Amino acid sequence: MKIIKMKQLNRRDFLRFAGISGALLLTELTPLNLLRSAYALKSKEINLTGNLTAVDLGNGKPFIAWTYNGRIPGPEIRVKEGERLRVVLNNKLPEETTVHWHGLPVPNGMDGVPYVTQKPVQPGGTFVYEFDALPPGTYLYHSHAHYQLDRGLYGALIVEPKREERGYDREYVLLMEDWATVDGGGPETAKKGRIRPLMGMMGMMRRGAGGPLQEPLYDAYTINGRVFEASLPFKVKKGDKVRLRIVNPSSSTIYTLRIAGHPMTITHADGRPVLPVTVDALRIGTGERYDVELIANNPGRWHIYNLRDNSPASGWLLGTFLYDGIASKTYNTDNIIGDRINDYSILEGIDERYIKPVTSVNKVFRVNLSGGMMSPYWTMNGRAYPDSDDISIKKGDRVRIEYFNMSMMAHPMHLHGHFFEVVGTGRVTGVRIKKDTLIIPPHMGRGAVEFIADNPGVWFHHCHNLYHIGSWDG
């Protein structure tokens, strides 16, 4: 696999990525991380076939979704720390595709960004992704081509630690996804069952003049591919210590997730361990993952729901948390809700052997995020790719990126190939957690991250709102 340097790509390819996105150029190729080669464990082979499949989310509006192996979400990929993962991708979709291993610092050629790290896999084609599963954590895999993620091409990627330090009795993975099954954009979308971004007049009519363009309206929210009415309850026994790996592959919804009757203790943010901290509801942006624990000590049938405007009254239902032996179909009233909701400042990272702390930086970049009002483009530093300032760095650089959000929407900024340390968010400074995706709050919101450039290649860096990446169809 040849690593494609950005300079070798032609201009047309870049235009596809106009929007809040850019690339980091890490020059000087070196052999892979020595840590990786210290592992020579077994390997695991997985087949992923992208194809079109009739899907019913449970809301009585079956449609043709884009799936991995005929399911939504795609199959859970679960490996042990250090195991070598080989994924054979077969493209039976009508379009070119790639798979991205969101959050996992894989070698650049395996990162799955079309025209940046690989030639996309054409319909009928195959591609083998191969990398070592390190470090342990909760990750996400998804197509990185066009709007395919939003059509159903995503799944969980779990790297289990060699030795689990936090014991628990049960574990569930929750993939939260927003769906627009309405016919909003003409015959093509009626057929596909998914609307396209609402541009121009269509967007104005649907949202009212003046509202942000390009944001689909959602009429279904699912956990693990089922709407609330059709959901399978998450079952627990009284006394269980339960781990939930909560993953947000939605195209643009930032959730405030609540499990009625139960506070949750955050133990990992984007797969990285943090000092445990308890919240009543979990705020989770697109592309983010949180591992939480809870003690099942409040028997009943409970709603899992999203809090809107921090109020249970205006939220929407997502699923059911159910104790063994509860026969009643009536849901308990959420009686013990407090107001603890995570922002990054309440989290504190734990040192890990895989990720060196950033001690001092030698390069600082400032990124202004703007756009959205009446313009179909979201930009970094006022410019859309490929005219954006590429962030050019050398191996070993210690880089700081400072974000300023001049727009009225939150932007979950995601960096490929690296974990960064969050060093400030909002008005808070001195935060020190490792992540790969960070929500930059709207209306002059800020955020700053630092990382060591230790994984050479051209790395994509973008807002994880799928409708802010840019004009894929441009």
Interacting residues toward ligand C2O by CB under 6 A: 100, 102, 142, 144, 287, 414, 416, 460, 462, 464
DSSP secondary structure of 6-56: GGGS-HHHHHTT-SSEEEEEEES-----HHHHT----EEEEEEEEEEEEE-
Quick one: tokens of 369? 């995020």
Residue 436: CB minimum distance to ligand C2O, A: 9
Q: Cβ distance 440 to 447 under 8 Å?
A: yes
Instruction: Pick the closer one to ligand C2O by CB: 99 or 307.
Output: 99
Residue 440: CB minimum distance to Cu ion, A: 8
Binding partner of residue 255 among Cu ion, ligand C2O, none, CB cut-off 5 to 8 Å per kind: none
Paired residues of 114 in beta bridges: 118
Residue 106: CB minimum distance to ligand C2O, A: 12
Instruction: Pick the closer one to ligand C2O by CB: 105 or 287.
Output: 287
CA 20 – CA 372 distance, rounded (Å): 11
Paired residues of 266 in beta bridges: 277, 292
Instruction: Pick the closer one to ligand C2O by CB: 110 or 236.
Output: 110
Instruction: Pick the closer one to Cu ion by CB: 96 or 215.
Output: 215
Instruction: Pick the closer one to Cu ion by CB: 81 or 215.
Output: 215
Binding partner of residue 258 among Cu ion, ligand C2O, none, CB cut-off 5 to 8 Å per kind: none
Residue 213: CB minimum distance to ligand C2O, A: 22
Instruction: Pick the closer one to Cu ion by CB: 20 or 247.
Output: 20
Quick one: tokens of 403? 């974000």
Q: Cβ distance 175 to 224 under 8 Å?
A: yes
Residue 218: CB minimum distance to ligand C2O, A: 19
Binding partner of residue 462 among Cu ion, ligand C2O, none, CB cut-off 5 to 8 Å per kind: ligand C2O
Residue 415: CB minimum distance to Cu ion, A: 14
Residue 147: CB minimum distance to ligand C2O, A: 13
Instruction: Pick the closer one to ligand C2O by CB: 281 or 410.
Output: 410
Residue 20: CB minimum distance to Cu ion, A: 5
Select from 434, 435, 374, 431 the least CA-distant residue to 407.
374
Residue 310: CB minimum distance to Cu ion, A: 22
Q: Where are the beta strands (DSSP E) in 118-231?
A: 126-132, 137-143, 154-160, 170-179, 220-223
| Dihedral pair phi/psi, residue 189, rounded to 5° | -75, -30
Q: Which helix (H) or strand (E) holds 156?
A: strand 154-160
Specify the residue for token string 């409970």: 302
3-state secondary structure of 206: helix
Binding partner of residue 468 among ligand C2O, Cu ion, none, CB cut-off 5 to 8 Å per kind: Cu ion
Check residue 468 for interaction with Cu ion (CB under 5 A): yes
Paired residues of 364 in beta bridges: 400
Q: How far is CA 131 from CA 37, 260, 439, in A?
A: 11, 39, 28
Binding partner of residue 460 among ligand C2O, Cu ion, none, CB cut-off 5 to 8 Å per kind: ligand C2O
CA 318 – CA 246 distance, rounded (Å): 13
Choices 37-45, 86-94, 398-406, 466-474; region in contact with Cu ion by CB under 5 A: 466-474
Instruction: Pick the closer one to ligand C2O by CB: 370 or 465.
Output: 465
List b or e across 258-277, with b for residues whose CB sees 16 or more CB atoms inside 10 angstroms. bbbbbbbbbbbbbbbbbeeb
Instruction: Pick the closer one to ligand C2O by CB: 100 or 398.
Output: 100
Binding partner of residue 414 among ligand C2O, Cu ion, none, CB cut-off 5 to 8 Å per kind: ligand C2O
CA 193 – CA 238 distance, rounded (Å): 41
Binding partner of residue 463 among ligand C2O, Cu ion, none, CB cut-off 5 to 8 Å per kind: Cu ion
Quick one: tokens of 57? 């989310």
How many CB atoms within 10 Å of residue 52?
A: 16
3-state secondary structure of 346: helix
Select from 358, 169, 167, 351 the least CA-distant residue to 273.
351
Binding partner of residue 465 among ligand C2O, Cu ion, none, CB cut-off 5 to 8 Å per kind: Cu ion
Among 110, 304, 463, 469, binds Cu ion (CB under 5 A): 463
Check residue 411 for interaction with Cu ion (CB under 5 A): yes
Instruction: Pick the closer one to ligand C2O by CB: 100 or 283.
Output: 100
- Please name the amino acid found at residue 401: I
Check residue 465 for interaction with Cu ion (CB under 5 A): yes
In the chain the first and final C-alpha atoms are separated, in Å, by 27
Footprint of Cu ion on residues 12-41 (CB under 5 A)? 20
- List residues binding Cu ion (CB under 5 A): 20, 411, 463, 465, 468
